[in-house]
């Protein structure tokens, strides 16, 4: 008995003699309901499901924002994006928004002896004020904020420049064909999605009609860099190859891999071997491709006998969207599929669908398999929690050590989560409050219900997860309580 209580008092770091590897697979725009373990039947996701089955499936896991840049910012810095100006969706030529001097997750783990790597979608800006030098050395890049290795795209698949950047250099750049990027005026002589619309291989529905790269209209203009341009069809293979390479090269020491998938963001152009794998068109096929990528990571961990002491976490940066700017049949071929599962809204939305996302974690050495957890967990807590697991002292403005909840030892988790969309909402216990104010009810372009009403809305998620019944008038005292908490956090 005495020994047991002594053990319980020991910090986690002492108990896990060997620091676990940490692999964070971060999908883009995948909804809670887009995976089979959360109810999808029109698409199967055996690899993602395997993480949940051999670990924990969280039903109340939240990203901090209903769009990409702020979610990633909070997840890597442990600081709410709303506390810092300029953390909204960034153009592809934005400067790095994480100050190398501020505490962050990769630098913290590096300090703890980890080899750290990021592969995939970055979208947190690159270079100094004024933006990156595409034809020289791009600095600061992820390598200046604690990543030993980076192989990324600057922003998104639909934003120029459509090139990969490794450790601060554009991959395969021919100096005789320099890159020029403009998020303002078109570049002279360059074809655009407006002037040459009939040449496009995938038509746009809104925006996405500037530069044409690989037959697809993009946001922003670019010229040059022909040899460095990516082929969308090969992107999943490309990034997966780099992620696997990082794991193989890091196997002798604890490592942290942040594998930020491009899928299933637009443009959805899966490799031909995945085309037609679902009845849902490119969006469904991109989910199959996502699952394949996750499977490749599980496979290499098995092969290198690293699975046992690797903490692997799968999640997403925001909720689902169907038409995000290209005519890719996501709406017409949806059928009965429910991308956000039982939740209302999606990407851009204050409703649960905006920020309640797939969250599954496996760590065989430490976590009992086969659990479903309703604990409130937020990606904002990853820095402090992973630091605690790695045994590194670190402080972050908004990040809490939630290792008990994330490792399945407690069903409680946070007492509240903040959800950033058009405005800041709060969930506390089972209650959810979306403040009233000016704003769009529905995103006219994507069709998403945003939940941004003139009047405040209060929902009881235990009885009404779909947020259909506004209880604000019936429970003014709850509204006050949540308002107060939100103001205090703010
Ligand atoms: C929007 C884009 C959308 C997507 C989003 C960012 C238009 C009309 N829409 O501005 O397609 O790129 O930005 O998505 O340009 S995120 O997942 O990176 O936040
Ligand atoms: Ca996203």
Give residues (CB < 6 A) around ligand 1: 28-29, 67-68, 89, 123, 156, 158, 206-207, 219, 265-266, 318, 324-325, 445
Ligand nearest to the CA of 317: 2
Locate CATH 3.40.720.10 in the chain: 2-173+226-414
Which pLDDT band, with edges at 50, 70 and 90, does 440 fall under?
A: confident
Atom of ligand 1 nearest to the CA of 29: 17
Distance 207 CA to ligand 1 centre (A): 9
DSSP characters over 58-100: ESSEE-SBSSHHHHHHHHHHSS-GGGSTT-SSPPTTPPP-S-T
Distance of CA 131 to the CA centre of its chain: 23
Mean pLDDT of the chain: 96
Distance of CA 459 to the CA centre of its chain: 26
Per DSSP, helices labelled H in 275-377 are: 282-303, 352-355
Distance 109 CA to ligand 1 centre (A): 31
Query: What integer pLDDT is reported at residue 187 of this predicted model?
Result: 96
Question: For residues 428 and 477, what is the distance between their CA atoms, to the nearest angstrom?
Answer: 14
Locate CATH 3.30.1120.10 in the chain: 422-489
Counts for the chain of helices (H) and strands (E), in that order? 11, 20
Let me know how long the chain is.
Answer: 490
Query: What integer pLDDT is reported at residue 18 of this predicted model?
Result: 85
CATH number corresponding to 422-489: 3.30.1120.10
Find all residues with CB under 8 Å of 193, minimum gap 6, and list them.
200, 204, 208, 209, 210, 211, 212, 217, 218
Distance 192 CA to ligand 2 centre (A): 25
Which pLDDT band, with edges at 50, 70 and 90, does 5 fall under?
A: low
Atom of ligand 1 nearest to the CA of 326: 11
Q: Which residues are 153's β-sheet partners?
A: 121, 164
Q: What is the pLDDT of residues 354-375, one digit of tens each?
A: 999 999 999 999 999 999 999 9
**Quick check: 202 pLDDT over 70?**
yes
Instruction: Give, as residue ranges, everything with CB less than 5 Å from ion ligand 2.
Output: 28-29, 68, 317-318
Specify the CATH class of 2-173+226-414 in words: alpha beta
Distance 70 CA to ligand 1 centre (A): 13
Question: For residues 30 and 320, what is the distance between their CA atoms, to the nearest angstrom?
Answer: 5
Question: For residues 290 and 301, what is the distance between their CA atoms, to the nearest angstrom?
Answer: 17
Q: What is the pLDDT of residues 220-255, one digit of tens each?
A: 999 999 999 999 999 999 999 999 999 999 999 999
Task: Say if strands 21-27 and 310-316 run parallel, antiparallel, or are unpaired.
Answer: parallel
Which of the pair, 88 or 439, is modelled with greater confidence?
Answer: 88
């Amino acid at each position: 008995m005495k020994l047991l209580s002594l053990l319980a008092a020991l910090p986690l770091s002492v108990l896990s003699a060997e620091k676990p590897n940490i692999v964070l697979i971060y999908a883009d725009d995948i909804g809670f309901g887009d995976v089979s373990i959360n109810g999808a039947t029109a698409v199967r996701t055996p690899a993602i499901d395997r993480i949940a089955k051999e670990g924990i499936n969280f039903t109340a896991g939240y990203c901090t924002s209903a769009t990409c840049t702020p979610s990633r910012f909070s997840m890597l810095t442990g600081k709410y994006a709303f506390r810092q100006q300029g953390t909204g969706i960034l153009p592809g030529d934005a400067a790095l928004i994480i100050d190398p001097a501020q505490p962050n997750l990769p630098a913290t783990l590096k300090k703890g002896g980890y080899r750290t790597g990021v592969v995939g979608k970055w979208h947190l800006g690159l270079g100094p004020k004024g933006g990156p030098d595409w034809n020289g050395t791009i600095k600061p890049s992820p390598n200046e904020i604690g990543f030993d290795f980076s192989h990324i795209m600057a922003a998104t698949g639909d934003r120029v420049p459509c090139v990969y950047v490794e450790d601060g250099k554009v991959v395969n750049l021919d100096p005789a064909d320099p890159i020029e990027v403009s998020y303002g005026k078109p570049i002279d002589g360059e074809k655009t999605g407006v002037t040459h619309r009939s040449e496009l291989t995938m038509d746009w529905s809104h925006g996405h009609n500037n530069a044409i790269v690989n037959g697809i209209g993009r946001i922003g203009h670019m010229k040059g860099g022909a040899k460095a341009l990516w082929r969308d069809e090969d992107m999943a293979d490309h990034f997966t190859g780099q992620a696997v390479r990082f794991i193989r090269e890091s196997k002798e020491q604890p490592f942290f891999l942040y594998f930020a998938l491009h899928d299933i963001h637009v443009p959805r152009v899966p490799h031909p071997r995945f085309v037609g794998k679902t009845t849902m068109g490119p969006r469904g096929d991109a989910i199959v491709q996502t699952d394949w990528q996750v499977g490749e990571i599980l496979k290499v961990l098995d092969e290198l006998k690293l699975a046992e002491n690797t903490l692997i976490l799968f999640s997403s940066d925001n909720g689902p969207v169907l038409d995000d700017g290209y005519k890719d049949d996501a709406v017409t071929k949806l059928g009965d599929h429910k991308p956000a599962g039982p939740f209302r809204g999606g990407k851009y939305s204050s409703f649960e669908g905006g920020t309640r996302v797939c969250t599954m974690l496996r760590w065989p050495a430490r976590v009992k398999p086969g659990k479903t957890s309703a604990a409130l967990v937020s990606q904002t807590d990853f820095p402090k929690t992973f630091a605690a697991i790695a045994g590194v002292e670190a402080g972050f403005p908004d990040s809490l050590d939630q290792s008990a909840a994330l490792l399945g030892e407690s069903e409680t988790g946070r007492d509240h989560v903040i959800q950033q969309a058009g405005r800041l909402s709060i969930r506390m216990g089972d209650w959810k409050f979306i403040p009233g104010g000016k704003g769009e009810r529905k995103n006219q372009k994507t069709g998403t219900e945003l939940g941004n009403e003139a009047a405040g809305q209060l929902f009881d998620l235990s009885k009404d997860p779909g947020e259909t019944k506004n209880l604000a008038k019936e429970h003014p005292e709850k509204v006050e309580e949540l308002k107060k908490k939100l103001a205090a956090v703010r």
